Amino acid sequence: MIAGVALLWTTAIFGRLSYLQLFAHGEYMARAQRQQQRTIEITPKRGIIYDRNMHALAMSVPVKSAFAVPAEIADESLAARLLSGVLGVPQDVLEARMASSRSFVWISRKLPPEKVEAIEALNLKGVYFQDENQRFYPKRDLAAHVLGFVDPDEKGLAGIEYQLDSQIRSKSEKIVVMADARQRWFDGGEAQRERGANVVLTLDEKIQYIVQRELLAAIEKTHALAGSVIVMNPNTGEILAMSNWPRFNPNAASEAPAESRMNRAVTALYEPGSTFKLITLAAAFDQEITRPDEVFDCENGAIYIAGHRIRDHKPFGLLNVSEILAKSSDVGAIKIALRLGAPRFYDYIRGFGFGAPTGIDLPGEGKGLLHRLENWSAISIGSVSMGQEIGVTPIQLITAVSAIANGGTLVKPHVVQAIKRGDRVVGPDMVNAPGEAKRVIRPETAATLRRLMEGVVLNGTGTLARLDGWTAAGKTGSAQKIDPATGRYSPTQLIASFTGFAPISNPAVTILVSLDSPVGLHEGGQVAAPVFKRIAEQVLSYLDVPRDVPLNPRLIQAAYKRQMASEGAMLEDFSPTDFSGQPDEPPAASNPVAPDKPTPHAPEVAMATDEGGDISVPDFSGETMREVTEMCLHLGLEPLLVGSNLATQQIPEAGANVRRGAKVTVQFGNPPPPAKPTRTARTARLHSRSRY
């Protein structure tokens, strides 16, 4: 009987075990996993964002997050009170978190080192740390509007972080939390780990720093409400710098108002004002309906269109087309547009990209405001020709001006140079595969406009943008804003702007400066043009662009004095003198910048007085680009400039007779090397240097 009972008992046990192992194994294993382990997502390690020189602008750094296993905490109320004092989180909030689960709850994520140390010092049982990743911007607000920012879960919310989030962020990382029968945490490991792609931008952090510094100085001086500056390579569409005011720190983006986080350079819509006259003249020259020397009667500053009187900012009389642009005459621009006609004018506006997004690889780009041609009123052609009744974004305007700078080709702007995983390119490679481009005006039209835009800087409304050492071309703009209270243009609230490029013969950069509602001086030529000058001179020098005009002697003198002052700091009481006791001339080697030669006045060139009114071509040898341009303008010739530095060759030859308006091609290059100094001269310089 005992044996029978034992056999029956054993059979029942083995039967039950067989059922559990063979038939119910999957169900019980799933229940065990639900009870014993938790899979927790943690923030992934995002890829690095570099500038064009591989300087890191955004990266992920390891940080610690605190979590708790409430089953291991003996007194949750006490633990919550202690943690509340360290974290600054209300005690009841922490208690609610602990009550939500017995196995795993987050206490606080991405803690600074000092709080980690403070929590460790509490020595609380059941409170642990887990490594996570946090986005960090080492340059703080540098290029913040381009880079964007992320949320606490490392998801991109703006800028490149948002635009390329799926590639930079990759997949989420996970950890597995294990617990025993008493819900005690005892193990953890990574279930998945994959890195995001790195992004190389076209930005240059040094140029970006220059732009942000000068924009800040302009805001402080003018008290403008907002501002934007863009620096672009007109030949490739690369954005070298993009800055906006107000600014923000992406490391603490949540603390900044939404207005500060907006990238005005690609989203802000405004009437371009007089800068849009470039498009008016581009269309007119391309259709050959006018010439730079054609004279228009500007009606003493007023014109009537469809019964509406439009007044100019000054009462101009007779002006040629070059002067219309240089002096920014509204009446002159309107008369040119009327001759062009609305249909052709509209086609050129669309051709330059207005009324549609440029396609820049940044989120939130606006398409501007351009009414369909059938919706234009009788006065629209006059308003649009001088930059009213049309809305543009800064990126649209600088892209259009870059087309004039590069010879008539509209290139697509971009800030992403390449997307890489390791050394492998996985995204657009803009270095080896340039972006889209289309021709919008003829090269001859672009050359004519460049010459006229130089006149704006030399003799027009943009004289404060004239560069020391380089030729420059540009256009000022002072666009009135709509007063919300009256619905009419405000007489005091304006958007002052200047857009231009340098050098003229081979533009290296196009720059746009826009200031919203400056106080006091408020015209583009007064407040925006000087910002263009300061940025352009620093950027061109940084890029080592060859100078094509002599430096201002006063700048050379100042540079020499600065160097002498620094040398004097080391040799305080030593004043170099020659043996006769008279002050010696500074040694040639100590002059930091040697001028090519003093800027001469344009030479007087006599015109031929024959019956045909021919012009005798002067000899341009050894002249700078600016001197050649001024001489040609004085004679009524159209210069085509090739190369840089000083004039070496020309077609037609000097002395040839040509008609007014003829094209003269001038080749520029390096001057011949100076003759070697004599032994006496070398000895004198050696003695001069030895005194230092």
Give me the average pLDDT of each 10-residue run along the chain (692 residues). Answer: 92 88 82 65 82 94 87 86 89 87 83 90 86 89 95 90 89 61 52 73 95 95 95 96 95 91 94 94 95 92 88 90 93 94 95 94 93 93 93 96 95 94 74 71 94 94 93 92 76 89 94 94 92 95 88 59 51 36 34 36 34 70 80 76 76 82 76 51 39 32
Domain at 642, CATH number? 3.30.10.20
Can you state the angle between helices 91-99 and 76-87, rounded to 10 degrees? 130
Q: Are 124 and 228 found together in one domain? A: no
Q: Are 477 and 432 found together in one domain? A: yes
CA angle 161-167-168, nearest 5°?
45
Domain at 139, CATH number? 3.90.1310.10
Domain assignment of residue 229, yes or no: yes
Instruction: Give the list of residues 6+ apart from residue 202 with CB closer than 8 angstroms, or none.
Output: 52, 233, 238, 239, 240, 414, 415, 416, 417, 430
pLDDT of residue 97: 87
Residue-by-residue DSSP string for 419-465? EEETTEE-S--TTTS---EEE-S-HHHHHHHHHHHHHHHHHSTTGGG
The amino acid that residue 545 corresponds to is V
Peptide bond into 138 cis (omega under 30): no
Pick the last residue of a domain from 502, 522, 542.
Answer: 542
Q: Does the predicted TM-score (pTM) go above 0.85?
A: no
Cα–Cα dist 412/359, whole Å: 7
Q: Is 6 helix (H, G, I), strand (E, B) or coil?
A: helix
Q: Are 565 and 531 found together in one domain? A: no
Domain assignment of residue 14, yes or no: no
Pick the last residue of a domain from 197, 213, 229.
Answer: 197
CA angle 501-502-507, nearest 5°?
90
Instruction: Give the list of residues 6+ apart from residue 536 with CB closer than 8 angstroms, or none.
Output: 465, 467, 470, 472, 500, 502, 509, 511
Domain at 351, CATH number? 3.40.710.10
Domain assignment of residue 631, yes or no: yes
Can you state the angle between helices 277-286 and 394-405, rounded to 10 degrees? 40
Can you state the angle between helices 330-340 and 277-286, rounded to 10 degrees? 40
Within 10 Å of residue 601's Cβ, how many Cβ atoms? Answer: 7
The count of structural domains within the chain is 4
Domain assignment of residue 678, yes or no: yes
pLDDT of residue 582: 35
Q: Are 454 and 496 found together in one domain? A: yes
Q: Are 585 and 600 found together in one domain? A: no
Q: Are 357 and 239 found together in one domain? A: yes
Domain assignment of residue 9, yes or no: no
Pick the last residue of a domain from 173, 197, 221.
Answer: 197
Q: In terms of residue numbers, what domain contains 108?
A: 39-197
Q: Is 635 helix (H, G, I), strand (E, B) or coil?
A: helix
Domain assignment of residue 639, yes or no: yes
Q: Are 446 and 376 found together in one domain? A: yes
Q: Are 533 and 435 found together in one domain? A: yes
Q: Are 510 and 616 found together in one domain? A: no
Q: Are 588 and 600 found together in one domain? A: no
C-alpha neighbours within 13 Å on the C-beta side of residue 363: 16
pLDDT of residue 608: 33
Domain assignment of residue 24, yes or no: no
* Residue 241: closest CA among 115, 159, 102, 146: 146
Domain assignment of residue 589, yes or no: yes
Q: Are 446 and 585 found together in one domain? A: no
pLDDT of residue 138: 93
Q: Are 222 and 190 found together in one domain? A: no
